Amino acid sequence: MQTPASKRPPRGVEAVIARAIAIALLGISGVAAPAPAQAEPPVSMMVHAPDSAGAIAAARRAQRRFEGVRRAALPIQERRGGSPCEVHLGRYCYWYDSTSQPPVPREGEGVTMARHLLLAALDSLGAVSPADAWIVGQRVRYRLDALDTAGAVINAESACHVTGWWCDALRGYALHFAGEHDAAGRAFDRALAAMGEEDRCAWENPAAVLPRPARDHVQGMACDERRAAASRLWWLASPQLGRAGNDVRTEFFARRVESLLEEDARLIYAVRSSWDTNELLLRYGGSSWWTRERSMTISGPSEPQLVGHGRSPAFNFLPSPRAVLDAGARVRNADWQPSQPTPAMRYAPSYLAWWRDGSAQVARLRRGDTLLVIAAFEAPDDSMLGDPVAQLVLSPGPGRMRFASRQVHALRGVLEVRMPRAASDGEVLASVEIVDHPRRAMARHREIIGDTGRGRLALSDLLLHRPLAQPPAVLGLDAVLADVLPATSVAAERVGVYWETYGVAAAGELLDVALTIERLDAPWMRRAAARLGLADRITPVHIRWQESPRADGGAPARSMAVSLANLANGEYRVTLRVRGDDGAEAVSQREVRVRR
């Protein structure tokens, strides 16, 4: 069961809750800013109403006064050890340190009162100039700063009278931090639809959160091509397909809004917003609280540096650039690296404090016009997952209907989902999600699958299982389901391989069948020696036979036990090839790791 949005910790609270796990730190450094030509051009929406000159001037004075009060009230702390810069961005030094745990200071009553006075002033000035984009934006921003998400949503929905797309963007911003990610996504979609092509192209551009050289490649795309790449990126990056909405996408757009709100506003760092502020915000999010820190030097205490602390723990949800830019690539679970040391983007969802890879074996089988997808899964052996809920979710593409299995309370088992084969005509993202909501913990396995083929002959995925002690007279999926392995990693000396063949003539036909196992991770010198006969073959298993199955009772099913006793530890590809007497052919492959 999902935690209700009203019970989720609002923005800024996670650093307090999870400070013993990890802290994201952001501090000013003396690094010179690169030339402005290297920066992504900012999108601007700070259009002021014609009669708002006096109101906007008063609002800016009130905002500057508050940030001055907040900065002056920050405590000075001694820096505990050194945290080297992970990323230099212009004037800023960013690092993510899971060992440094500075205490979270309690906000002083003076700062709380100053924010209250600022909001009162902004509300009064907003009544005078209700169509001013900057004033209404700051009203939403500082209510979120006060952890008043309900008030921020009300302001965005009822107090914004700016023409164009700005009000919908503000609604998406407020709804995102209120935990209403599905509604936030719809609000951002309305804002994007109302933008001119130039603004929309800039807003949807994900280049800033991608590593190089993918960043440069996407930056050079035309708008339509870049939009398709961004759509695929956020589809693959969605943290949990079992949740409504896509909060990593709405987080990106919320950061876009926040970067606009910082334009022409005083920052707590006492510097003006520029390209480096904008890029830092897009990549790692805003700070939740601040401290002034100093360290001891040979000549005595250093000048205090202002350090911003972000929400934590933060994860890398983006898949590998290859998975995003190569639509034909085979996308595996290894394409997601949640704890990558230096990712181009981090995000700390309020509902997630622990994330590990789960293990699963996903297979596709035909059932008439329906595709049956099964996933045998197993959670990692960790105490963070107490009584989790497991679910298999299939997503046929960005914005398309998802198909989900029933939820089961288990650490291991088999999940099943059926979807129309017509909906699987292309890539399908399959995500096994094992979630303990009270502990904010998740284990996940994710990969892209497709249909089983469109030729006259077709094969199901190969399904690895423990060898059957007594094969039944009539073999079917039910006979092996209880013995399916929850991963494609095999420690035993024998493994069962199950498959189904589709398109066989009802009266039967003669099929040539070949099963091979090929080593994938052998060094090139080893492969060359094998070709010359100076070393054992890279393909140590090669079995070929003929059979005449009948399809009058449905798709013929087959299972055979294969010996792995002579295989060294490593990565292998199991390939099954079936050829009919008319030349029709079908191939199915499964990669497996042998470990003993």
Q: Over range 477-484, report the average pLDDT.
A: 93
**8 pLDDT exceeds 80?**
no
Least confident window among 11-25, 202-216, 331-345? 11-25
Per-residue pLDDT for 397 more than 50? Answer: yes
Q: Please give the average per-residue pLDDT across 236-263, as a whole number.
A: 96
**pLDDT value at position 49?**
55
Q: Which pLDDT value is given to residue 29?
A: 33
pLDDT, tens digit, 9 for 90 and up, residues 351-367: 999 999 999 999 999 99
E strands, 238-385, are 289-294, 296-297, 300-301, 305-310, 354-357, 359-367, 370-378
The pLDDT value recorded for residue 7 is 32
Element containing residue 435 per DSSP (H, E): strand 428-436
**Token digits for 302?**
């250093």
Band (pLDDT 50/70/90 cuts) for residue 81 is low
Q: Which one has a higher pLDDT value, 48 or 522?
A: 522
3-state secondary structure of 517: strand
**Mean pLDDT to the nearest integer, 463-476:** 88
pLDDT for res 271: 82
pLDDT of residue 5: 36
The model's pTM? 0.87
Is the distance from CB of 238 to CB of 394 less than 8 angstroms? no
525 contacts 515 by C-beta, under 8 angstroms: no
Task: Give the residue from 426, 428, 410 showing the smallest Cα distance to 418.
Answer: 428
pLDDT-based confidence at residue 224 (cuts at 50, 70, 90): very high
Predicted pLDDT at 10: 34
> Residue 28 above 80 pLDDT?
no
The answer to whether 303 and 294 have CB atoms below 8 angstroms apart is: yes
- Pairs from 212-219 (Cβ < 8 Å, separation ≥ 24): 214/321, 214/324, 214/325, 215/344, 217/325, 218/325, 219/40
Task: With beta carbons less than 8 A apart as the criterion, state whether 441 and 354 touch.
Answer: yes
pLDDT at 213: 92
Q: How far apart are CA 259 and CA 202, in angstroms?
A: 13
Q: How far apart are CA 450 and CA 98, in angstroms?
A: 39
pLDDT of residue 422 exceeding 80: yes
pLDDT recorded at residue 301: 62
Q: Which strands form 585-594's sheet, in the order they lie side by side?
A: 489-490, 585-594, 570-580, 511-519, 541-547
- pLDDT (tens digit per residue) in 537-555: 566 789 999 999 988 778 9
- Read off the DSSP letter of residue 174: H
The answer to whether residue 150 scores a pLDDT higher than 80 is yes
Band the pLDDT of 419: cuts 50, 70, 90. very high
Q: Which one has a higher pLDDT value, 18 or 137? A: 137
- 240 — pLDDT class (breaks 50, 70, 90): very high
139: confidence class by pLDDT, cuts 50, 70, 90: very high
Q: Residue 593 is inside which H or E element, if any?
A: strand 585-594
Q: Which domains are delineated in the chain?
A: 43-79+109-286 (no CATH), 358-451 (2.60.40.10), 453-596 (2.70.50.60)
Q: How far apart are CA 68 and CA 108, in angstroms?
A: 14
